[in-house]
Structure 1
Amino acid sequence: MTEVLFYHLQRRTLEQVLPPLLAKCLERGWRVVVQAASAERVAALDAHLWTYDDESFLPHGPAGDRDAADQPILLTTAPTNPNGASVRFLVDGAELDDPAAYAPYARAVFLFDGNDDEAVASARGRWTALKAAGHEVTYWRQDEAGRWERKG
């Protein structure tokens, strides 16, 4: 079954947290798909990943580009997996409708805004459904120093 990680963002924004997590995936040789809830968010993430750090580069591109299947990191709004990713990030409330849709992935990562009551409630609902479907679920929260701690 797919390992599903829930990252509770409270001290840092998605734009601060996502690039290092993507870099770790690439270091491990994993292809990634990042699913956002809107085309505007995909465009914003695309622009951010080009400029977030002058010393780093994350090879990526949006779905719909002619070389989308070749991208190590693919940004999309769709539940598809054209680049054969083994890790799927879901941000801003994006989700896969059916717990069985997680099967192609070794890991799925939900990043949710812990300061948004609706996002927290949605994450709790997803946790319950995915755990009931047999997925291994873990919850991660940042400590005061900004390090991620596994809480559940």
Structure 2
Amino acid sequence: MTKIDFYILQPGGRGNRYTLAARLAEKAWSAGHRVLIATESEEDLRHMDRLLWVHRDQSFIPHGILGKADPSLNPVLLAGANDAGEEHDVLINLCLATPEYFSRFERMVECVDQEKQPLEASRERYRFYRECGYPLNIHQIT
């Protein structure tokens, strides 16, 4: 069963859910995991792509866009909400809804900031996962 972790940026915390996703993608990749970052829109996908290039001055997160990049060379892939390719290790969800394919992943990460609409959507997703019996963890990030 998919393990689900909610990482919640507290009010006044540094960054937003996108910068949090970049930090968590780097951490998962550094630990040897493959990561798929699911985005809500093409604009969000492009934003995450740019962010992963400049995330930290002294690091590089090898990444690409699903369907355009060679998965064997890119352990971090960006995708829209409807396609996960062959990925199944770590899913970082930046979508307002739960991606249909989430349950095939070993672990799913929900990045939550204090922006009103995404915050409300994350609460709905939390209730859905809890009602379905998924193991949930909450991490408060300052």
What is the TM-score of this pair, normalised by structure 1? 0.80
Q: In the superposition, relative to structure 1, how do residues 66 and 141 fare at CA in structure 2: closer, same or farther (>3 Å)? A: closer
* Paired residue type of 1:25: A
Offset, 1:27: 2.1
Larger Rg: 1
The residue aligned with 1:18 is 21
Structure 1: unaligned runs, 5 residues or longer: 147-152
Structure 2: unaligned runs, 5 residues or longer: none
Output one character per residue of 1:129-151: Cα deviation in whole Å (capped at 9) or x when no partner. 11221210112212xxx3xxxxx
Measure, in 1, the Cα distance between the counterparts of 2:105 and 2:3: 8
Measure, in 1, the Cα distance between the counterparts of 2:115 and 2:87: 33
Contact 2:19 2:51 in 1 (8 A): no
Which stretch shows the higher mean deviation, 132-141 or 13-22?
13-22
How many matched pairs?
A: 139
Correspondence 1:107 to 2:110: no
Contact 2:21 2:92 in 1 (8 A): no
Counterpart selection for 1:37 from 23, 27, 40 = 40
What is the TM-score of this pair, normalised by structure 2? 0.85
Offset, 1:69: 6.0
Offset, 1:19: 2.4
Measure, in 2, the Cα distance between the counterparts of 1:70 and 1:83: 14
Offset, 1:78: 3.2
Correspondence 1:9 to 2:12: no
Correspondence 1:130 to 2:129: yes
Aligned-residue identity in percent: 27
* Paired residue type of 1:63: L
Offset, 1:92: 4.6
The residue aligned with 2:52 is 49
For CA contacts below 8 A with separation 6 or more, give which structure has more relative contact order: 2
Q: In the superposition, relative to structure 1, how do residues 102 and 128 fare at CA in structure 2: closer, same or farther (>3 Å)? A: same
Contact 1:62 1:68 in 2 (8 A): no
Output one character per residue of 1:91-144: Cα deviation in whole Å (capped at 9) or x when no partner. 1525214xxx3332111011122241x3222212111111221210112212xx
Measure, in 1, the Cα distance between the counterparts of 2:91 and 2:67: 17
Measure, in 2, the Cα distance between the counterparts of 1:74 and 1:51: 16
Matches within 5 A, 1:69-148: 70-97=73-100, 101-116=101-116, 118-142=117-141, 146=142
Offset, 1:22: 1.0
Offset, 1:87: 0.5
Computed over aligned residues only, the root mean square deviation of the Cα atoms, in angstroms, reads 2.0
Which stretch shows the higher mean deviation, 33-42 or 11-20?
11-20
* Paired residue type of 1:6: F
Measure, in 2, the Cα distance between the counterparts of 1:47 and 1:39: 12
Tell me the secondary structure at the aligned position of residue 133 of structure 2: coil
